[in-house]
Chain A
């Protein structure tokens, strides 16, 4: 993926070049372009006058900042106790079976990445998963299959 220097300038222009803005700059870049390339992190380091290793260290610390390329659709399933008690285990197994990958992996065709996530604060309707930015609650294995099919057939749900 090409590093979009215009986007970097734009985001830094908004947040400024202070050290304190680093986390927000990296999060926004990651959200807008999917993940951070080494070049992008180096460009941020140069503009904020920080060592590239420092930028990578911060980027890799936070779960909302990706330093690796993910699939076209990213599924994040809540793995915490309230969702687990509400039936999260079956959903976990269903997702792995349906997509043929384990959590933490991306499908060979690059369509799906499956990740666990910490509490999304939607516990009252657990189990909950995010497909990209869209939240789905009260999940059952059947509901998961139908949601996946909607994305597979091209509709954005």
Chain B
């Protein structure tokens, strides 16, 4: 007689996260307790969520656990099916978060779900149907702005909300808008920076693919606020699907009178154009993006003048990141107070992170500003992969800093991270276990910068090449103490002297790597790779003299 049934999610994501092993563990443990005749184990279809896979549902209670590892499975069998107690600490987090996140050591106590602001619709509506967006309060903020707000009131609202640019720099969005608002010019532009190329970052792609209209609505609101009637979306050339969705979304919005001339029968007109890039990381830098938008090589411009004064076609231009824009309609629709109730005092709102590396759950989360890396690790990424211990994290993509274990409790927000000499950047969180070699990782990061340097300024063009050469020799155990000192000196020079953010960021992994893991660099000088990752050469082999581009 069957008294209970265990269902395990079996979509490809669940399977890649060990659903099969979990199922086997359930069966083995049930057989150990002699429960196989009473409890049935089966796969179910895809779960309606991706943050807690593999998801396990146990009937008749309907208890939902997730993510469930084989070890968890054994414990669940003992507790719930043998002793009849729900294992609270393994329950899948609820769908919506209410209130503040408290510090939660380990996986004990209650776990919270994510706070969705910009991802509220992604994954729950059909992005190719404008009516679904409208049904979920879409274009209400634009309507409210056009009927109830003066342009200046919109700028003030965004200022009061405390929203900061989500592309990485964290510049106050309202302030940027007010700079453009105050410019006397017949022609102004709104540019959406969708050239997301920071390694480990794919939040903008998911926003654009899952909820393209929110970006269009935000651009129109921005246009109304600063007095622009033209907007451009510069989308990364590789993002084919997002581009198609945007094309369709623009077309639908125009058909509905929500973009184009006299929007919602008002005096305000706003047109949005799409421009796809052609593969260049540097084009994420706003002035390089503007050059590329004008059909040129993507090489940064000297600042000042800033784009807010002389941007696209030398006219005052607002350049905002996709995630930043996606925050605008919710702020207008729900109010400043609501927005400021999320996150911290200095950095309100939520932030989208991509979790990567040696953790159980990789993917996208949106959580309030100010939660700590430890909380992300414990709650959302399901902890470190089996048997591994945390060594360091790299936040903000390639240009981010290394975070050592002692900094796990620093709140993730622009201000706190800056105070610790780290950066939040684009929100990529690469988690590395003890079997990661810092020198090897620094080498891979430098290879990226060396390849992507646009070549305009000497410190970045030559500096990244020289640093890469030294790191390559270090990986082969053929470097010296003098070279380590040279590496440090070059890194400092590249950081201080580079023309734009790319070069300034290229040195960060070296500088923070040396700050926290200097002994590992020194071990390589002695011909030893503590993590046993680097291809250390036999002692008598000749040193590689010049770098071969992009070789491993």
Q: Which residues of A contact B (CB under 8 A)?
A: 18-24, 26-27, 57-58, 61-65, 79-82, 84-86, 89, 92-93, 102-104, 116, 118-126, 138
Question: In the complex, A53 Cα to B238 Cα: how many Å?
Answer: 26
B279 touches A65 (CB 8 A): yes
In-complex Cβ contact of A116 among B197, B280, B398, B550 (8 A):
B550
A63 touches B278 (CB 8 A): yes
B323 → chain A closest CB, angstroms: 14
B447 touches A79 (CB 8 A): yes
**Is B264's beta carbon under 8 Å from chain A?**
no
Chain B, 324-364, contact with A by CB distance < 8 Å: what is the 0/1 string?
A: 00000000000000000000000000000010111000111
Centre residue among B16, B280, B358 by max chain A CB count within 10 A: B280
Known: A62-B279, A65-B279, A119-B198. A124 touches B295 (CB 8 A): no
B199 touches A119 (CB 8 A): yes
Question: In the complex, A23 Cα to B296 Cα: how many Å?
Answer: 7
In-complex Cβ contact of A64 among B196, B237, B298 (8 A):
B237
Q: List 11 A-B contacts (CB under 8 A).
A: A61-B454, A62-B298, A64-B277, A79-B552, A81-B448, A85-B358, A104-B549, A119-B397, A122-B202, A124-B363, A125-B362
Question: In the complex, A62 Cα to B432 Cα: how many Å?
Answer: 31
Closest residue of chain A to B282 (Cβ to Cβ) is A61
Closest residue of chain B to A138 (Cβ to Cβ) is B16
A81 touches B201 (CB 8 A): no
Question: In the complex, A24 Cα to B283 Cα: how many Å?
Answer: 14
Question: In the complex, A81 Cα to B445 Cα: how many Å?
Answer: 6
In-complex Cβ contact of A102 among B275, B394, B445, B551 (8 A):
B551
Question: In the complex, A30 Cα to B198 Cα: how many Å?
Answer: 24
A31 → chain B closest CB, angstroms: 9
What are the residues of chain B within 8 A of A124 when measuring CB–CB?
Answer: 202, 354, 356, 362-364
Nearest 9 A/B pairs, CB to CB: A63-B279, A121-B202, A64-B279, A62-B278, A80-B199, A22-B295, A119-B199, A27-B278, A61-B297
A53 → chain B closest CB, angstroms: 12
What are the residues of chain A within 8 A of B205 when measuring CB–CB?
Answer: 121
User: What is the count of residue pairs linking A and B with beta-carbon distances less than 8 angstroms?
Assistant: 133
A109 → chain B closest CB, angstroms: 23
Closest residue of chain B to A54 (Cβ to Cβ) is B296
What are the residues of chain B within 8 A of A92 when measuring CB–CB?
Answer: 552
Question: In the complex, A92 Cα to B447 Cα: how many Å?
Answer: 14
A19 touches B294 (CB 8 A): yes
A85 touches B295 (CB 8 A): no
**Is B101's beta carbon under 8 Å from chain A?**
no
Closest residue of chain B to A126 (Cβ to Cβ) is B356
Centre residue among A18, A80, A92, A125 by max chain B CB count within 10 A: A80
B552 touches A93 (CB 8 A): yes
Contacting A at CB under 8 A, from B106-158, are none
Question: In the complex, A23 Cα to B551 Cα: how many Å?
Answer: 28
In-complex Cβ contact of A62 among B199, B280, B436 (8 A):
B280
A58 touches B551 (CB 8 A): no
Centre residue among A20, A21, A86, A126 by max chain B CB count within 10 A: A20
What are the residues of chain A within 8 A of B293 when measuring CB–CB?
Answer: 20
Closest residue of chain B to A59 (Cβ to Cβ) is B278
B200 touches A82 (CB 8 A): yes
A20 touches B295 (CB 8 A): yes
B357 touches A85 (CB 8 A): yes
Chain B, 454-481, contact with A by CB distance < 8 Å: what is the 0/1 string?
A: 1000000000000000000000000000
**Is B423's beta carbon under 8 Å from chain A?**
no
Chain B, 381-397, contact with A by CB distance < 8 Å: what is the 0/1 string?
A: 00000000000001001
A17 → chain B closest CB, angstroms: 11
A19 touches B295 (CB 8 A): yes
Closest residue of chain B to A58 (Cβ to Cβ) is B297
